[in-house]
Chain A
Amino acid sequence: MKALINKFFTNTACREFLILVIPFLLWVFCFRDFFSGHVLLQQDAVSYADNIKYYTDNLSKGVFPLWNPDWFNGAPYHFFLRRIGDVNPLLFLIILLKWVGISGANAYLLFLGAYYFLAGWGFYLITRILLSGRLFAFTAYCLFLFSSWGSEIFYNYIIIIYVPVVWFFYFLLSFCRTPKKVYFLGACFCVGLILTTYIPFFFLTILALFTVLFFLFYGNVFIDLLKRSFTFFLKNKIFTCLCIVFLLVSCVPATVFYKESKSGEFVLPDRHSGADTSLPIAVGLLNVASGDIINHGFFDRVFSDHPHLDMGDIYIPYVFFIVLLAATFGRVNKLIFFLLFNILGLSLISITSASGVHRFLYDHIIFFKLIRNIYYFFWLSILPMAILLSVTAFQSLLKTIDNSSRKTSWLVYITICHVIFIAFLYRQQEVLDGAWIAVFISMIFFLVYCRCEEKTSIPVGFCAVLLAVFIQSVQVYGFLGDRMYQIQQDSLHFSLTHQNPKKEKMGVYYATRWFDILVNYIDPQVLDDYRNHPFIIYDNIVPYVDAPQFLKSFESSVALNTNIAYVSKFESGPEDWKSNPYVSPQAEDDPVLSGKLSVLSHDANTWKIKTHLTRSQFLVINDNYNNDWHAFINGRPARLLRANVSFKGLWVPAGDSQLVLRFSKPWVYAAHIALMVLFAGIFLYLLVLFKKDRTVLHGDA
């Protein structure tokens, strides 16, 4: 066994493994309420969990979902595929976990945890490249792991974008240091993952600012890097070309989605309100401001009131601030300035209306019209860079102390800093015991560092950082878990005891254009009753014009269940319009019960229906219509119409018939699956390259 362990873990790897895993396990302990399912996912995290579940459930059944029949009566699924990043091979982890018998909810939580670990690992490796000494990378890793970034994974979906972003920067920095195929491919893979999502613009902005500042701060290095990269490209022409082709292919899903959004087939009314372009995914300026860091960056509890920490509130362990304060008179370096200006630049964008920068970008750069939650810059870049800055300053301070002959003076100065911090905390409200302990541990570390040999001080440093960060955080997140559970119970009680007798209009986030019209014009109760019937058979078909006055008469017709279906005058012809006065005045709203219709099979993209009619009748399937739906009756293409404003309708002949309705074309599925396989293949190839070159994941190669 020992031999086996030795085979897989060299001393270095083992040390790295422990450094990463022990804090992560402690972090899992901090969030035990969330991982145990005691506290449920919040806000946007719920929608993403639902969509990832829907996607992985379908994949495990062998279906690539391009339509979601449950989303506001059916909607194209591209939007959600772009949101979750459907080509991400790590999503297969969920399928795998479910396959081994873990429940769907637990599999998703494990995936979230693993993904967050991956984020922390990437961040650790970046720090290892930028700073010498494992202690600093460990400090940065702990600060990142135990900051409220951890709670964000249960609150929104930003982790999905963050992991490829952080690993991209790791590969980029590694490539800058040693141009290797593995790094270049890794960077391309991460960019590919980001480009397949519908919000690659955060990354593009961060990268653009990073590049400009890198050029300004490290001009010579930058030019040298360009030269070295060029040499690498010349040496590996085919490889480089393949990577570029891969990147171009990665752009296809987002480009198709962008074009689809232009066609107006779907709407995002809340998001789009106030936008100055017709593009449905565009965001109005006021709407952007509602998603900026002033509106979302809850800094109120950074120093105090931790017992009432809420999801989305910003919390960073105190070690971060103590280090920044103590490092005030440490030597500043170029990296600190570089990080600082990155932070300042992104902060200016993130505060939108409180500086002119965002307005300028919104007016002049098209993709800024598509970014709503500007505050994500904080989680994606500002916070990680601030932690890096703090740790760089920490390194600088320790170096200054090392180089100084007056260590006692430094110890006095650091003690004063701690006293100042304690005095500051004393003035804050509800400071937890863990916070005081963190300050105490910090003081102990500096005492040991100034008084003892490196042999003693560095191991003490590791323990001190981990203890200080963990002891404070475990208490803070304990309160957070309790609080969230209480809120959950209260809201459950509220929903059980407060029932609104009047049906209210549903809020539409994303839906087909026609369904949105129905929601806006039809009485919610009438629409709700109508939607309870998945199939309705009619005898009379009347053309109509999409106009508000018609929608009122449609509402009465639907409320009375009259035997008339409506098809758009402009999308149908006289051959589709029929009227039969010698039939029941009521439409047949339960043909399954009467035996006229049975569903043979149904998945996300397909309906297979069998009908048995005594005469030719018009079947309305109350799943939304879309141009990409195709109908076949007994194997022959049939004419599918938009019926009753938003739904699918078609004439079905008398006798027994088999209907097949299919969304999109076979080659579209093939293309999606091919792209998924391509990403999975590259991911596996990367793993092989990692295995070949073990130094790749040590950072300090």
Chain B
Amino acid sequence: MAKLKIPNITKQSLAAALGWLISRVAVIYFIVFIFSMVFVDLKTLNMRTEVRHLNQAVPGFLDMINFSMGKNGDKKVNWIPCKKYFELILRYLPDDLIAKQLLGYVDYYSGDEQKSIALLKSSADLKGHLLFWSNYNLGVIYYKKGLWPQAAEYLFKAVSSNSRLTLILMQDSLVYKQILSGLPSYNPEDGINQAKSNAYILLLSCLYHMGQFDKMIEVYNLSMANQELSYKDAFYYYAGLSFYETGQMDKAILLFQKSLTIEKNNPDVYFFIGSIYQKTGQLELAKDFLQASLALHQKNDPRFPYEAKINLRFL
């Protein structure tokens, strides 16, 4: 086979070109590149730069916290700094569940519902273990849209999730540390329990809308087994409602009355007790309860119906 011969002229011109290039300022860029490759730990450099960017970008969380706790009144929240911050975290740590969950929360209130749902879904579990906040928020979003089966699915996941695991993740998370630094007296465990109570209420409400009254009783039993939950009056009310709908009036009235022992201002409880009395022919009693219900309705107590004020949360 004939050997390929490079003409001498080409070699010379190549050498000349190379010589010319080496004698140019451009060579310093090449040196810098080689120097960086050899002497600089680029991984550490990159990591530390990311950390600095993140530290520099920490926004003020006060408005977001107040909003989540319903303390903001009519004040409009500027979501952009928080959104940018969580997005930056995800740029560096794309698998960070906490950042996804928080960005999902922010995205929902800044009008990007689809992105919010996607983020919350992708942060709903850690290696098969259900996490509370994302499932809770998904349940609330679907509930607000009136998609009862989806809402019930996520709310059920929320109430079945491991609160301890959620708590540990929150306590370990640098972002939550930054958020909680402004709330020295806040107990995250209380926050989860309160939101879990809300989740039970919404779940019971979903099942009611879906007509799954037998499941309502099961969920009611589950909620009653958890001593740390608040809003027991609501659980009694919904359980009473399920018995009411299935015609078990004696059980229903018992549960409605239990609800009244805790919360005396829920007009719906009076209404259903009045209805039961009406159905059983005790018209005088029925009249009293229905009038009481009407009077309470006119007060427009914002706490009722229970599910009306429930919003997305992260604390």
Residues of A within 8 A of B (CB): 289, 294-295, 298, 300, 324, 327-332, 336-337, 340, 344, 348, 351, 353-357, 389, 393, 396-397
**Residues of chain B at interface, number, CB under 8 A:** 21
Kindly list chain A residues whose C-beta atoms are within 8 Å of the C-beta of B42. Answer: 354
Cβ contact within 8 Å between A330 and B39: no
Cβ contact within 8 Å between B39 and A357: yes
Interface centre among B42, B48, B56 (most CB of A within 10 A): B48
Instruction: Tell me whether A332 and B25 are in contact in the complex, defined as CB-CB below 8 angstroms, given that A295-B52, A344-B35 are known contacts.
Output: yes
Q: How far is the CA of A295 from the CA of B29 in the complex (A)?
A: 24
From A294, A344, A393, A396, B45 is in contact (CB under 8 Å) with A294
Instruction: Tell me whether A332 and B39 are in contact in the complex, defined as CB-CB below 8 angstroms, given that A294-B48, A294-B52, A354-B45 are known contacts.
Output: no
From A329, A331, A340, A348, B39 is in contact (CB under 8 Å) with A348
Kindly list chain A residues whose C-beta atoms are within 8 Å of the C-beta of B225. Answer: none
B13-72, CB < 8 A from A: 23-29, 31-32, 35, 39-42, 44-45, 48-49, 52-53, 56
Q: How far is the CA of A398 from the CA of B200 in the complex (A)?
A: 78
Cβ contact within 8 Å between A328 and B24: yes
Count: A-B pairs, CB below 8 Å: 59
Residue of B nearest to A396 (CB): B25
From A329, A351, A396, B40 is in contact (CB under 8 Å) with A351
Shortest C-beta distance, A375 to chain B (Å), equals 12
Cβ contact within 8 Å between B25 and A330: yes
Kindly list chain B residues whose C-beta atoms are within 8 Å of the C-beta of A351. Answer: 40, 45
Instruction: Tell me whether A331 and B23 are in contact in the complex, defined as CB-CB below 8 angstroms, given that A344-B35, A354-B40, A355-B39 are known contacts.
Output: yes
Residue of B nearest to A326 (CB): B25
Residue of A nearest to B40 (CB): A355
Q: How far is the CA of A331 from the CA of B20 in the complex (A)?
A: 9
Q: How far is the CA of A295 from the CA of B28 in the complex (A)?
A: 26
Residue of B nearest to A327 (CB): B25
Ordered by A's residue number, 15 sampled pairs between the chains whose C-beta atoms are within 8 Å are A295-B48, A300-B53, A328-B26, A328-B29, A329-B26, A331-B24, A332-B25, A332-B27, A336-B28, A340-B31, A344-B32, A351-B45, A353-B44, A354-B42, A357-B39
> Which 7 pairs of residues, A with B, have the shortest CB-CB distance?
A354-B45, A354-B44, A294-B48, A328-B26, A393-B25, A327-B25, A329-B24
Residue of B nearest to A394 (CB): B25
Kindly list chain A residues whose C-beta atoms are within 8 Å of the C-beta of B25. Answer: 324, 327-332, 336, 393, 396-397
Q: How far is the CA of A336 from the CA of B25 in the complex (A)?
A: 8
Beyond known contacts A328-B24, A354-B45, A357-B39: 17 more, CB 8 A cutoff: A289-B48, A294-B45, A328-B26, A328-B29, A331-B23, A331-B25, A332-B27, A332-B28, A336-B28, A340-B32, A344-B35, A348-B40, A351-B45, A354-B44, A355-B39, A356-B41, A397-B25
Q: How far is the CA of A340 from the CA of B31 in the complex (A)?
A: 9
Shortest C-beta distance, A628 to chain B (Å), equals 41
Cβ contact within 8 Å between B44 and A332: no
Kindly list chain B residues whose C-beta atoms are within 8 Å of the C-beta of A332. Answer: 23-25, 27-28
Q: How far is the CA of A348 from the CA of B49 in the complex (A)?
A: 15
Kindly list chain B residues whose C-beta atoms are within 8 Å of the C-beta of A353. Answer: 41, 44, 48
Shortest C-beta distance, A484 to chain B (Å), equals 17
Q: How far is the CA of A340 from the CA of B52 in the complex (A)?
A: 27
From B26, B28, B41, B56, A340 is in contact (CB under 8 Å) with B28
Q: How far is the CA of A294 from the CA of B24 in the complex (A)?
A: 30
Kindly list chain A residues whose C-beta atoms are within 8 Å of the C-beta of B44. Answer: 353-354
Residue of B nearest to A295 (CB): B52
Kindly list chain B residues whose C-beta atoms are within 8 Å of the C-beta of A294. Answer: 45, 48-49, 52
Cβ contact within 8 Å between B41 and A354: yes
Kindly list chain B residues whose C-beta atoms are within 8 Å of the C-beta of A298. Answer: 56
Q: How far is the CA of A295 from the CA of B25 in the complex (A)?
A: 30
Shortest C-beta distance, B51 to chain A (Å), equals 9
Kindly list chain B residues whose C-beta atoms are within 8 Å of the C-beta of A389. Answer: 28
Q: How far is the CA of A337 from the CA of B31 in the complex (A)?
A: 10
Kindly list chain B residues whose C-beta atoms are within 8 Å of the C-beta of A330. Answer: 24-25
Q: How far is the CA of A357 from the CA of B44 in the complex (A)?
A: 14
Residue of B nearest to A343 (CB): B32
Q: How far is the CA of A620 from the CA of B49 in the complex (A)?
A: 51
Q: How far is the CA of A423 from the CA of B44 in the complex (A)?
A: 31
Shortest C-beta distance, B210 to chain A (Å), equals 49
Interface centre among A298, A351, A354, A389 (most CB of B within 10 A): A354
Shortest C-beta distance, B182 to chain A (Å), equals 11
Q: How far is the CA of A337 from the CA of B35 in the complex (A)?
A: 13
Kindly list chain A residues whose C-beta atoms are within 8 Å of the C-beta of B23. Answer: 331-332
Residue of B nearest to A390 (CB): B25
Q: How far is the CA of A337 from the CA of B24 in the complex (A)?
A: 11
Shortest C-beta distance, B10 to chain A (Å), equals 22
